[in-house]
């Protein structure tokens, strides 16, 4: 029987040498005259053990990792094709604690299947949601998504079903589905992982959105820094089209839906939905004033659903298993699962999909295993560059949209950047203003100028010029930015700044005072 070896083709695994491993494995197979094939799967998201090589044995899969090209000959010598013991043996991948503790709904196939095999996709539950959707009335699909409690995973947490209902109810000669795959937040990689590891689930989710709202064309706007994801998605769309999953008769139904992949313009603000629409139309990525909402006048002035990758990729399982099934996971108004991305100075970095409700401490200490440096955790920034810094004192905060908001934070796209006790929170606050100044689209004054003044004020604070006055100024400036900015880039920059000042006041003493105290 031909042996099957799984070696990830995911950018994260490639950065850790997966491609070299695959080439060496192929060379060994040829040199030893073995009957084996290599499948380039996605990643299971446990990056601390990537490249994770898996073998399909009669007793299930056997995992080895992290594998380097140098380890490959010894793996063959240890008969790893039959699951033989080796110092890199990890046993059944499903039993690796980081993987076993997850609830995988959206990422159910990621790292398991061949990302570009539609047969493999279907064999692992793919297409079941779309098959149901094409036989349903559009309003019933929207109702199912609404009842599931799914909220946008791009950052704002807006109920997906309500957005879809607006598009369904709006008359338009053409409607669009736009997938926001700009993924600019620090410490986030969930969108990339699913596009590279299970692209058909996104195509299926977008097609369901099209059938539900009457949209016939979709666009995936992928950040240009993700060439690998762009290539994977393009191949997957071509395969889906050839198989009749996309086209004038989706899965043989009267519904028409097709889609295209577009490369992003390389600015953080292009992830903001109206700026993204401008960019898709070939214009500069400047934020549009709302109203009109994109759901009413979006791409090319037509009714448009714009959703994050994970929001759309979560829809197929909702249609397949029903709204109740999805809704049963989670807490409060945060229903279903969330792919938490753990990064920064952390031992077990990776993607961890789980129901809402774990505490920040459980995630950082229990799952992430604390810092990689071995030093105490000082702060965790949750929700990307516009998210608040949480000190250990707030580690009892549950992963839930409302619980985070109640503590002046946000979940955002669920990325966590962990910092140890060497982090200087004044520098982090300065960085927040600087980031905003660099990425501002320039349309409104509080953000365009406020961010520059913020950098200058923090610099004065650092050099000891009237520190009390500078803190007052920064606080005032943050209020102006929070309430006067047109979009969340200027409006949320106060979160990292004020959380750093509030929770780490010792770092905001001017340098000479700090030096004297040390
Ligand atoms: C500055 C800025 C950057 C953003 N970047 C992204 C992004 O990279 N990806 C994303 O999905 N949403 C991003 N958003 C949120 C989008 O504006 C929008 O809320 C989202 O695409 C809606 O999809 P959802 O409801 O599925 O979350 C950003 C917002 C702002 C203000
Ligand atoms: S807040 Fe900043 S990014 Fe947003 S519209 Fe205003 S200037 Fe542009």
| 510: pLDDT strictly greater than 80 | no
CATH, residue 262: 3.40.50.11540
The CA R_g of the chain, rounded to the nearest whole Å, is 24
CB 380 within 8 A of CB 416: yes
| Confidence band, pLDDT 50/70/90 cuts, at residue 511 | low
**pLDDT (tens digit per residue) in 36-90:** 999 999 999 999 999 999 999 888 999 999 999 999 999 999 999 999 999 999 9
Distance CA 118, CA 242 (A): 11
* Best residue among 159, 272, 494 to mutate for probing ligand 1, ranked by most atoms within 8 Å of CB: 272
CB 21 within 8 A of CB 72: yes
How many other C-beta atoms can be found within 10 angstroms of the C-beta atom of residue 257? 26
Residue 102 lies in a domain: no
For residues 208 and 310, membership in a common domain is answered with yes
**What's the gap in Å between 508 CA and the centre of ligand 2?**
27
Residue 307 lies in a domain: yes
What atom in ligand 2 is closest to the CA of residue 439?
3
Dihedral-angle region of residue 473 (phi above 0 means left; psi in -120 to 50 means alpha; beta otherwise): alpha
What atom in ligand 1 is closest to the CA of residue 487?
31
Residue 108 lies in a domain: no
| Residue of minimum CA distance from atom 8 in ligand 2 | 441
CB 14 within 8 A of CB 63: no
CB 336 within 8 A of CB 414: no
Chain position carrying tokens 């950040």:
223
pLDDT of residue 58: 87
**What's the gap in Å between 412 CA and the centre of ligand 2?**
18
- Kindly identify the ligand whose nearest atom is closest to the C-alpha of 272: 1
CATH, residue 487: 1.20.1440.230
| Confidence band, pLDDT 50/70/90 cuts, at residue 514 | low
For residues 352 and 455, membership in a common domain is answered with no
The b/e string for 233-254 (b: 16+ C-beta within 10 A; e otherwise) is: beebbebbeeeebbeeebbeee
Residue 130 lies in a domain: yes
Distance CA 204, CA 52 (A): 27
What atom in ligand 2 is closest to the CA of residue 269?
3
| Confidence band, pLDDT 50/70/90 cuts, at residue 477 | very high
- Kindly identify the ligand whose nearest atom is closest to the C-alpha of 181: 1
Domain stop point among 420, 443, 478: 420
What beta strand segments (E) does 309-452 contain? 330-331, 334-335, 337-344, 350-355, 377-382, 389-391, 415-420
pLDDT of residue 418: 98
Residue 104 lies in a domain: no
Helix (H) or strand (E) holding 306: strand 304-308
Distance CA 201, CA 126 (A): 7
**What's the gap in Å between 416 CA and the centre of ligand 1?**
17
* Best residue among 152, 153, 180, 439 to mutate for probing ligand 1, ranked by most atoms within 8 Å of CB: 180
pLDDT of residue 508: 94
What beta strand segments (E) does 51-145 contain? 53-57, 60-64, 89-91
For residues 256 and 305, membership in a common domain is answered with yes
**pLDDT (tens digit per residue) in 320-362:** 999 999 999 999 999 999 999 999 999 999 999 999 999 999 9
The b/e string for 383-398 (b: 16+ C-beta within 10 A; e otherwise) is: bbbbbbbbbbebbebb
For residues 134 and 233, membership in a common domain is answered with yes
Give Cα 438 to chain centroid, integer Å. Answer: 23
| 512: pLDDT strictly greater than 60 | no
Q: Are strands 36-39 and 3-6 parallel, antiparallel or unpaired?
A: parallel
| Residue of minimum CA distance from atom 4 in ligand 2 | 487
Domain stop point among 66, 97, 128: 97
For residues 210 and 300, membership in a common domain is answered with yes
The count of C-alpha atoms lying within 13 angstroms of the C-alpha of 436, restricted to the half-sphere facing its C-beta, is 36
CATH, residue 87: 3.40.30.10
Mean pLDDT computed over 289-296: 96
pLDDT of residue 509: 86
For residues 128 and 256, membership in a common domain is answered with yes
| 173: pLDDT strictly greater than 70 | yes
For residues 213 and 146, membership in a common domain is answered with yes
CA distances from 120 to 63, 106, 198 (A): 20, 16, 10
For residues 244 and 343, membership in a common domain is answered with no
pLDDT of residue 300: 98
Residues found in the chain: 518
CATH, residue 412: 3.10.20.600
For residues 127 and 218, membership in a common domain is answered with yes
For residues 195 and 289, membership in a common domain is answered with yes
Strand partners, 340: 352
**What's the gap in Å between 403 CA and the centre of ligand 2?**
27
Domain stop point among 386, 420, 454: 420
Mean pLDDT computed over 434-449: 97
* Ligand 1 site, residue 155, Cβ cutoff 6 A: yes
**What's the gap in Å between 180 CA and the centre of ligand 1?**
7
* Ligand 2 site, residue 441, Cβ cutoff 6 A: yes
**Continuous H helices in 385-466:** 401-406, 425-439, 445-448, 450-462
For residues 245 and 299, membership in a common domain is answered with yes
Residue 109 lies in a domain: no
The whole domain housing 16 covers: 3-97
**Continuous H helices in 252-314:** 273-280, 309-313
| Residue of minimum CA distance from atom 6 in ligand 2 | 444
* Ligand 2 site, residue 443, Cβ cutoff 6 A: yes
* Best residue among 153, 154, 157, 410 to mutate for probing ligand 1, ranked by most atoms within 8 Å of CB: 154
> Number of structural domains, the chain?
4
pLDDT of residue 67: 98
* Ligand 1 site, residue 295, Cβ cutoff 6 A: no
For residues 248 and 176, membership in a common domain is answered with yes
Residue 318 lies in a domain: yes
| Residue of minimum CA distance from atom 1 in ligand 2 | 490
Residue 246 lies in a domain: yes
């Amino acid at each position: 029987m031909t042996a099957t070896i799984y070696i990830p083709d995911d950018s994260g695994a490639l950065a850790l040498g997966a491609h070299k491993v695959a080439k060496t494995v192929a060379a060994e197979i040829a040199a030893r005259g073995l009957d084996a094939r290599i499948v380039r799967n996605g990643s299971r998201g446990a990056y601390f053990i990537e490249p994770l090589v898996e073998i399909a044995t009669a007793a299930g899969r056997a995992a080895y990792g992290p594998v380097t090209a140098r380890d490959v000959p010894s793996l063959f010598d240890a008969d790893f094709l039959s699951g033989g013991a080796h110092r890199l043996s990890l046993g059944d991948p499903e039993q690796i604690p980081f993987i076993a503790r997850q609830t995988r709904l959206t990422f159910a196939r990621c790292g398991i299947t061949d990302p570009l095999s539609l047969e493999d996709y279907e064999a692992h539950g793919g297409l079941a949601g779309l098959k149901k959707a094409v036989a349903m009335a559009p309003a019933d699909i929207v109702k199912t998504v609404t009842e599931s409690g799914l909220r946008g995973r791009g950052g704002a947490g807006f109920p997906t079903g309500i957005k879809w209902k607006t598009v369904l109810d709006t008359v338009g000669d053409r409607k669009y589905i736009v997938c926001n795959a700009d993924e600019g937040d620090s410490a986030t990689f969930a969108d990339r992982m699913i596009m590279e590891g299970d692209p058909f689930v996104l195509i299926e989710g977008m097609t369901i959105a099209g059938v539900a709202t009457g949209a016939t064309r979709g666009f995936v706007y992928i950040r240009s820094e993700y060439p690998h994801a762009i290539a994977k998605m393009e191949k997957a769309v071509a395969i889906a089209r050839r198989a009749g999953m996309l086209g004038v008769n989706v899965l043989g139904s009267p519904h028409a839906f097709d889609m295209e992949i577009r490369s992003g313009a390389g600015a953080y603000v292009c992830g903001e939905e109206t700026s993204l629409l401008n960019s898709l139309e070939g214009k500069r990525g400047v934020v549009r004033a709302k109203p009109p909402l994109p759901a009413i006048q979006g791409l090319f002035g037509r009714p448009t659903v714009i959703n994050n990758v994970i929001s759309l990729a979560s829809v197929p399982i909702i249609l397949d298993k029903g709204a109740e099934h999805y809704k049963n996971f989670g807490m409060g108004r945060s229903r279903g699962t969330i792919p938490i991305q753990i990064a920064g100075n952390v031992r077990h970095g990776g993607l961890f999909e789980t129901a809402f409700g774990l505490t920040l401490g459980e995630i950082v200490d229990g799952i992430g295993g604390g810092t990689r440096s071995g030093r105490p955790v000082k702060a965790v920034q949750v929700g990307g560059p516009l998210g608040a810094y949480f000190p250990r004192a707030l580690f009892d905060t549950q992963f839930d949209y409302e619980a985070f908001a109640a503590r002046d934070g946000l979940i955002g796209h669920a990325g966590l950047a962990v910092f140890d006790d060497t982090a200087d929170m004044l520098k982090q606050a300065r960085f927040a203003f600087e980031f905003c100044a660099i990425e501002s689209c320039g349309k409104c004054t509080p953000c365009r100028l406020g961010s520059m003044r913020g950098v200058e004020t923090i610099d004065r604070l650092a050099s000891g010029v009237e520190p009390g006055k500078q803190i007052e100024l920064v606080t005032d400036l943050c209020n102006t930015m929070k309430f006067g900015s047109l979009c969340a880039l200027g409006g949320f920059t106060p979160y990292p700044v004020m959380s750093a000042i509030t929770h780490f006041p010792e770092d905001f003493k001017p340098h000479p005072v700090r030096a004297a105290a040390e």
